[in-house]
Amino acid sequence: MTSRPLITPFVLVSLFMLAGCASAPRSKSTAAAPKPLAEAAPAQYTSPCPKPPTNAEERFECDRRSILAMAGEFRVRFIFDETAALAPGYTPHPAQRSGATELVEVVEDTGRKIVLQHILVMKMGEDVHVIKHWRQDWHYEPADLLRYRGRSRFEHEAVDANAARGAWAQVVYEVDDAPRYSGIGHWTHSDGVDAWMSDLSLRPLPRREHSKRRDYQAIEAYNRHTLTPGGWVHEQDNTKLVIDVDGKRHAIARERGINSYTRITDFDFNPGREYWEKTKAYWASVRDAWARGAAAKASFELEPDPDDEPRINELFGQAERARKGETVPVAEIEDVLIHYGLPLTPPEGGSVY
C-alpha cells in the first residue's frame, strides 16, 4: 500500500467529491429501508465532563476537554437534505450522502486557544491518498471575530464583553487556511451530554456545491457540535441565500446538515501523520500569513476562486515542495495570498519557515 500525500488538481477535486466537500447524490434503492441519520452508540463511554460543572473554572476545564475530545481517528458521514423550498418556483435538489476517513490532530493548545486540523486519509484501491482538509480554531472569550459578510467580503466584528463571558468562538478555515466563517456560543454540560451551539453566522457557498451551483452565494446557519459515545456530530441548520451586489438577500431553501464523526481503530492513519509531520512547518507559515493579512484591515475582499481553484492549487503545490524537503520562502506564500486579495505586509527580515 503506497502513500500519495499530494496529487494532481483533477484527482484532488475528485477526492473532495468523495469526501463530501463536493458530494454527489447516491442512488436510492426502493426496496431498502432508509438508513438512520444517527450513528449507533457503543455501550461503554466516559464523558470528558462526567459531572456538571458548578463554577466558572470547572466549566472552562469541561469546555476544553470537550473540544480536545474531537481529535482522533474517524469514519465520517456527510448528510445534507434540503427541507423547504423558500423561493417561488424553487425545486429542491437531491439529498447528498458521502463519507470519508479523517484524522483530526491537535496542532495548538495554549489553554484559551485550541487548533484542530482535519486531514483526509482515503484508500482508493491499493493506494492511500492524503489531503489537508479543513481546520477549526477555538478561542475562549474572544474580543473580536472575523465575520463573513457575503460576496467574498470579510469584516472584523467586536464582541460585546457580556456576550464573550464564558463563551467559545469556533473559527473555521478552508483547506488552504483561508478564512471561512466564525460563530460564538457556550458549551453546555447537562443530562450527560456535552454540546456547543453557535450564534447565527454567514459562510460562503459550500465546497460540496462550489462546482455545481451558481443559484445562491452563501449559507446562513446555526452550528451545533455534540459529543457522542461513538465520537461527535456536527449539525447544521442552513438557509441558502442569494446576495445581490447591493447586499439585498433572498432565501431560496432551508437545509439540514449532519456530519457524524465515528471513532474507528481498523484503519491506518499513519500516512496522514507522516504528511503532517513533513508539512506542518510550511502550513504554520501559511496560517501566520493569513492571520497577519486578516488583521491588517477592518474588512477586505478575497478574489473569488474559479472552478479550478487556482489559489488552493498553488498553495498545495508549495506544500508538496515542503513535503519533499524544500524550503519555501515566506515571500512566495505571500505572493499567492496578495494576488487573491489578502491585505498583507511582509514580515520583518523576509523570514522563511
Residue 9: what pLDDT?
Answer: 44
Residue 305: what pLDDT?
Answer: 61
- List the grid coordinates of 198: 453557535
53: CB partners within 8 A, 6+ apart: 59, 61, 62, 189
pLDDT surpasses 60 at 58:
yes
The pLDDT-based confidence of 31 (bands split at 50, 70, 90) is low
Residue 12: what pLDDT?
Answer: 53
63 φ, ψ to 5°?
A: -60, -50
The pLDDT-based confidence of 5 (bands split at 50, 70, 90) is very low
pLDDT surpasses 90 at 278:
yes
Residue 126: what pLDDT?
Answer: 87
pLDDT surpasses 60 at 248:
yes
Q: What pairing do the DSSP bridges indicate for beta strands 72-85 and 168-173?
A: unpaired
Residue 18: what pLDDT?
Answer: 46
Q: Is there a contact between 169 and 114 (Cβ–Cβ < 8 Å)?
A: no
pLDDT surpasses 80 at 236:
yes
Lowest mean pLDDT segment, chosen from 70-74, 163-167, 309-313: 309-313
Q: Is there a contact between 189 and 166 (Cβ–Cβ < 8 Å)?
A: no
Residue 3: what pLDDT?
Answer: 43
**Rounded to the nearest 5 degrees, what angle is found at the Cα of 59, between the Cα atoms of 56 and 61?**
110
Residue 158: exposure state from Cβ atoms within 10 A (0-12, 13-18, ≥19) = exposed
The pLDDT-based confidence of 346 (bands split at 50, 70, 90) is low
Residue 351: what pLDDT?
Answer: 45
Residue 24: what pLDDT?
Answer: 42
Distances (CA, A) of 311 to 87, 131, 181, 199: 33, 15, 18, 30
The pLDDT-based confidence of 13 (bands split at 50, 70, 90) is very low
Residue 26: what pLDDT?
Answer: 47
User: Where do the H-state alpha helices sit in the chain?
Assistant: 9-19, 56-68, 161-164, 207-210, 270-296, 310-323, 330-339
Dist CA 325 CA 86 (whole Å): 52
Distances (CA, A) of 18 to 46, 121, 124, 167: 32, 12, 10, 35
Residue 352: what pLDDT?
Answer: 45
Return the DSSP state at 236.
E
Dist CA 128 CA 269 (whole Å): 9
Buried b (16+ CB within 10 A) or exposed e, 106-134: ebeeeeeebbbbbbbbbeeeeebbbbbbb
Dist CA 159 CA 139 (whole Å): 12
Q: What is the pLDDT of residues 175-198, one digit of tens each?
A: 999 999 999 999 999 999 999 999
Residue 303: what pLDDT?
Answer: 85
Residue 33: what pLDDT?
Answer: 84
The pLDDT-based confidence of 4 (bands split at 50, 70, 90) is very low
pLDDT surpasses 60 at 267:
yes
Share the mean pLDDT of the chain: 90
Write out the E strands in 63-160. Answer: 72-85, 96-109, 113-124, 127-140, 144-150, 153-158
The pLDDT-based confidence of 28 (bands split at 50, 70, 90) is low
**Residue 255: strand, helix, or coil:** strand
Residue 165: what pLDDT?
Answer: 97
Q: What is the pLDDT of residues 69-101, one digit of tens each?
A: 999 999 999 999 999 999 999 999 999 999 999
Q: Is there a contact between 80 and 99 (Cβ–Cβ < 8 Å)?
A: no
Instruction: Say what percent of the chain tops pLDDT 90.
Output: 81
pLDDT surpasses 60 at 307:
no
Q: What is the pLDDT of residues 117-138, one digit of tens each?
A: 999 999 988 899 999 999 999 9
